[in-house]
Amino acid sequence: MAREHPLHHLQHWRDQLRPGLEILRQASKGLPRQAGRILCTAMRLAVPKGLNHLPDELLQQAIAELQ
């Protein structure tokens, strides 16, 4: 029986995170402070919905709210 590499599972997580991180990078123009504002707004929007994650749609909503 072949052993699976311990980092194999990270590939799955990285693939799922990539779209959201790219949305955040583009919207913030690479500026950490702007990225922080977007993330804080997205987290504020997630709380009433009972979410413990930030779907891409919520990031888009946070970006629109800050514009």
pLDDT digits (tens, 9 = 90+) for 20-66: 888 998 999 999 999 999 999 999 999 999 998 899 999 999 999 99
Q: Domain tally for the chain? A: 1
Supply the range of the domain harboring residue 50. 29-67
pLDDT confidence of residue 20: 87
Predicted structure pTM score: 0.75
Domain annotation covers residue 49: yes
Question: Under a CB-based contact definition with an 8 Å cutoff, are residues 6 and 42 in contact?
Answer: no
Domain annotation covers residue 14: no
